[in-house]
Amino acid sequence: MHKTIGVLLAGGESRRFGQPKAFAEYHGKKFWHYSMEALIDTTEKQIIISHQNLLTKFKEQTQVKVITDDHHFVGDGPKAGLYTAMKNEESEWFVILSCDIPLISGELIQKLLAYISPGKKVIIPNIEGKLHPLVGVYHHSVFPLIEKQLVNKDRKMMTLLNQVNGLFVTEKELNIDPKIFSNINSPKDYGMLLNNDKISESK
The annotation places the binding site at 9-11, 21, 69, 100
* Binding residue numbers for Mg(2+): 100
Measured on CA atoms in the order 110, 65, 156, 163, is the torsion positive or negative?
negative
* Binding residue numbers for GTP: 9-11, 21, 69, 100
User: Phi/psi zone of residue 119: left (φ > 0), alpha (ψ -120 to 50 degrees), beta?
Assistant: left
Write phi, then psi, for 153 (nearest 5 degrees): 65, 25
Measured on CA atoms in the order 62, 88, 108, 135, is the torsion positive or negative?
positive
CA distances from 34 to 28, 170, 202 (A): 11, 22, 24
